[in-house]
Amino acid sequence: MARRSKPKGFWRILRPIAVVVVLLAAIPALLTPLYLFVDPVSVPMLERYVTGRPVVRDWRDLGEISDRLKASVILSEDGQFCRHWGVDLGALRDEVENYMAGEEARGASTITMQVARNLFLWNGQSVVRKALEVPLAIYIDLVLPKRRIMEIYLNIAEWGPEGQFGVAAGAQRAFGVEPQNLDWRRATLLVTALPNPMLRQPGRPSAGMLRIAGIIEARVAEFGARANCVGEGGRLAL
């Protein structure tokens, strides 16, 4: 009986795809441990470098950034940051249920998931991207301590329309101050710009931004202890 020939054409197609997948998975697996010591550059920053657009980023260690800002970011962006393992499972479950019901997505990205996206993925709403963020965020949280994750986030977040990345560039553009010198008003206004730094100008806040800044400050006053994991010695000086 003649032996069946193997589907060589199929394997020729599958093999390079498998190689690409393995290589793409290896990039965050190898780079994340390096980011314990190496200050990373984000994908949006790389895009601007490649296209010849300006990038303004002056790295600041976490101890050189106002505790008011750290607490405001956590209480605004990810109130469970100090408690979860990179992913807020409750918020993610609600997001999946909304998606399955055909409702509009509302987010559910933790700070760690945003770090994963900015370091290794792409912007724009996508179910595929969101699915990739989850394991990446869990891995990042496993490898990096919370203080380092926050330090990276505050130094790669986009904070202005002309290529300002990181809180130092954002604070300088908006208020002309160093990030360790932010008072409550300026710290909370900087945070209100994070969802849309292309349009929201903390130095010239709208009435809506001022209202949100007040809400953030009130949250920190009530729940500020939830952000203590990023403080020096496990406590923020608020």
Q: What is the mean pLDDT of residues 142-159?
A: 97
Residue pair 92/108 in contact (Cβ under 8 Å)? The answer is yes
> Is the predicted pLDDT of residue 185 greater than 90, yes or no?
yes
- pLDDT class of 124 with cuts at 50, 70, 90: confident
pTM for the whole thing? 0.88
- pLDDT class of 8 with cuts at 50, 70, 90: low
How far is the C-alpha of 12 from the C-alpha of 99, rounded, in Å? 37
> Is the predicted pLDDT of residue 104 greater than 90, yes or no?
no
How many angstroms separate the first and last alpha carbons of the chain?
81
- pLDDT class of 90 with cuts at 50, 70, 90: confident
**Number of other CB atoms surrounding residue 100 within 10 Å:** 8
- Fold classification of 40-48+58-234 is Penicillin binding protein transpeptidase fold (1.10.3810)
Q: Which of 38-52, 95-109, 216-230 has the lowest mean pLDDT?
A: 95-109
Residue pair 182/69 in contact (Cβ under 8 Å)? The answer is yes
